Structure 1
Amino acid sequence: MSRPPGPAPAGRPAAATPRRRLLGQCALALAAATVLLGAAGLWQDGSVQRVEAAGVLRVGYAVEAPYADLGPKGDVTGESPESARRIAVAAGLPRIEWVQTEFDKLISGLLARRFDVVAAGLFITPERSRQVLFSDPSLCVRPGWLVRLDNPLRLQGSYEDMIGQHGFRIAVLQGSVEAERLAPRGELLSLPDAQSGRLAVLQGLAPALALSWPTVRQLALEPPGRLLALPAAASASSPSVVAQGSRPPCAPDADRVAFAFHPEDRALQARWNQAQAGFLGQPEHLQILNRFGLSADDLPASVQAPRSH
């Protein structure tokens, strides 16, 4: 039986055997791969394989134009679904199956695995980030008010301007960021969707609807001449801003919109982010934005795209 080699003479390092060199190289490669996989979120958690095996990607949405809406024939459309279609194809994911739900059920439905992705103009907030995984931001939007033309509360400025006012009842969507921000400041009329909020303002049930600026801008078009959309930082005496179709630039403190994933689906999130990065700000994406009343001005600062002037 052969004996292991003895210690090297004093002052000389022990020569590494080919086997030891190979093991060392493997260990270094494994360590590097661990760092890369962990940083990119590419651990094989089975989420991509699960979707591929099912042959369908279930996408949840709630009707709130311009983010998500239904076309004349009942087809799912809007900025988020149309973008999701292109991103899913670029990511090599299977066909989409749409799952409609109420806005305040989007996150609970995702956690219950009723769908794999949420495409509904969902804002990134600390509370939501503790529950779900978000994609990289896809839009940057400001808050807004939907009021009657006479603007009974003379709303102007930000939501914080409502502090100290009494006797108002602002319409909000159940589970929305606006509901969270306004809850400590006055009585709210919680409604399931944006169209219900529009009707509440028209019928005088609430003097205003607090929702994102792109949404209230869209709602003000139906019916024309009866409602006014105001960005939360704009003057109530400037209806020409809406009439001309212009919009304020995306401010650094504006809300970020993103797609959402189950907290255990990091591989699916990483696959989506990679495809999304190659799509946002590109000509096809800008066409989708323009189709739904948005523009390059509504993109996050991290997205390189031509800016409108």
Structure 2
Amino acid sequence: MQPQFLQSPGFHQRRGQLGRHDWRAGPVVGPRGRLGDSRGRGLTAERTGASRAVRGSPHFRPNREETMKDQTTRRTLLATSLGLGLAAASLGGALAQGLMEKATGEGLDVAFYNFQPYAYMDDTGNLTGTDVEILRTVLERMGGSIADAGATEWGALIPGVKTGRFDVVAAGMFVTPKRCAEVMFSEPTFGIQNALLLVEGNPHGLSNYESVAANPELKLGAVSGAAQVDYAKLAGIAESNIVQLPDNATGVAALQAGRIHAYAVSAPGVRQVLAALPDAGLEGGEPFIDVAGVPHVSHGAFAFRKSDADFVAAFNAELVAFVGTPEHIAIMEKHGMTVDELPVRSTADLCEG
């Protein structure tokens, strides 16, 4: 049986049976294990506009009745446009002001990317992982809860939280300046080193991104849109030699099939793969920090809408008090992380680059 964390994020529980969603068809947001049913909530916007008919020659002059009709039409369009703008502003305000009420009432809708150790379905169909347990604990301290959670493709996480499809991303998402421009991150819950997953015996002698870049015939795999793609580019690996893959199951399969020569993932990710697939003919390289001569310790945090700043401030107050406590460390160790992977930088610092 394939380990849970190696399943595509398109796998999900449906009334106790495992179903599979084609990753090419779009994100999966529910059904959500034992936490609830799917409630895809996308915000839509209507467009209004007016077309002007050609009325003959350039010397055409409308009569008084036509002029009044045009003015009425313009006023109607202006009022409609203003109304839509006010409605959008009102909705945005409601999202921001109501998140605390929602958290302490019906609970928050959570998106996760199915990958250990951060968020994944265990053998009994329950959602677990470091991010899930930390989020649940912090929300409980705030008097809140998780109402609904669903596996979502990596590329749909940020767009989904921005549009209000869900309230928070719990996916071990690394804090980067590019992502900070789109969402508001909580303070980090971990800081981890980089590592490469390799074929057993490491026939190409690979140790980091630069070692892959040194041989133009070698290809590196990474999850599409993940920080590892940016690290690979920083290290000088040609884009044509970076194979972006939809999920970790595909990455492991590509490595075993020889389509790629190394798979870029975090140090905890490598440990999880090797523990789950001890006889797969794979090995992990030594963890490393430097990329292109600059230290890169990837820090993960929860992602929220920027309009939810007040809620995030309250959330951070509880989160910062929790991170580093024996209870937090116990959650990390339970899912294969160590005290060496506690955060060492703040979100403000990480967003600056």
Normalization by structure 1: what TM-score? 0.73
Q: Deviations over 1:176-206 (max 9, x none)?
A: 0111222461312211112221122122221
Match for residue 82 of structure 2? none
| 1:227 shift after superposition | 1.1
CA distance in 2, matches of 1:48, 1:93: 10
CA distance in 1, matches of 2:103, 2:130: 25
| 1:86 shift after superposition | 0.6
Given the superposition, is the C-alpha separation of residues 162 and 69 from structure 1 closer, same or farther in structure 2, using an over 3 Å criterion?
A: same
Q: Look up the SS of the partner of 1:293 in the other structure.
A: coil
CA distance in 1, matches of 2:191, 2:156: 23
Matches within 5 A, 1:222-301: 222-225=276-279, 226-233=281-288, 253-301=296-344
Asked whether the equivalents of residues 173 and 197 of structure 1 are also in contact (C-alpha less than 8 Å), the reply is yes
Unpaired runs of 5+ in structure 2? 1-94, 347-353
- Counterpart pick for 2:184 among 121, 126, 133: 133
Given the superposition, is the C-alpha separation of residues 300 and 252 from structure 1 closer, same or farther in structure 2, using an over 3 Å criterion?
A: farther
- Counterpart pick for 1:185 among 230, 234, 237: 237
- Counterpart pick for 1:172 among 222, 225, 231: 222
| 1:222 shift after superposition | 2.9
Pairs aligned (count): 243
Matches within 5 A, 1:1-309: 45-49=96-100, 51-52=102-103, 55-156=106-207, 158-183=208-233, 185-186=237-238, 187-225=241-279, 226-233=281-288, 253-301=296-344
Given the superposition, is the C-alpha separation of residues 163 and 137 from structure 1 closer, same or farther in structure 2, using an over 3 Å criterion?
A: same
Structure (1 or 2) with the larger CA radius of gyration: 1
CA distance in 2, matches of 1:49, 1:256: 25
Asked whether the equivalents of residues 47 and 267 of structure 1 are also in contact (C-alpha less than 8 Å), the reply is no
One-letter amino acid of the structure 2 residue matched with residue 212 of structure 1: S
| 1:164 shift after superposition | 3.5
Asked whether the equivalents of residues 198 and 282 of structure 2 are also in contact (C-alpha less than 8 Å), the reply is yes
Given the superposition, is the C-alpha separation of residues 137 and 49 from structure 1 closer, same or farther in structure 2, using an over 3 Å criterion?
A: closer
Asked whether the equivalents of residues 60 and 120 of structure 1 are also in contact (C-alpha less than 8 Å), the reply is yes
One-letter amino acid of the structure 1 residue matched with residue 304 of structure 2: F
CA distance in 2, matches of 1:53, 1:78: 22
CA distance in 1, matches of 2:342, 2:246: 27
Asked whether the equivalents of residues 113 and 154 of structure 2 are also in contact (C-alpha less than 8 Å), the reply is yes
CA distance in 2, matches of 1:160, 1:131: 30
Asked whether the equivalents of residues 169 and 206 of structure 1 are also in contact (C-alpha less than 8 Å), the reply is yes
One-letter amino acid of the structure 2 residue matched with residue 196 of structure 1: T
Asked whether the equivalents of residues 47 and 266 of structure 1 are also in contact (C-alpha less than 8 Å), the reply is no
Asked whether the equivalents of residues 139 and 300 of structure 1 are also in contact (C-alpha less than 8 Å), the reply is yes
Match for residue 36 of structure 1? none
CA distance in 1, matches of 2:237, 2:98: 41
Unpaired runs of 5+ in structure 1? 1-43, 235-250, 304-309
Q: Look up the SS of the partner of 1:258 in the other structure.
A: strand
CA distance in 2, matches of 1:73, 1:173: 26
CA distance in 1, matches of 2:121, 2:178: 29
Q: CA RMSD in A?
A: 2.3
Q: Look up the SS of the partner of 1:92 in the other structure.
A: coil
One-letter amino acid of the structure 1 residue matched with residue 129 of structure 2: G
Q: Look up the SS of the partner of 1:228 in the other structure.
A: strand
Q: Look up the SS of the partner of 1:256 in the other structure.
A: strand
CA distance in 1, matches of 2:141, 2:304: 17
Asked whether the equivalents of residues 151 and 207 of structure 1 are also in contact (C-alpha less than 8 Å), the reply is no
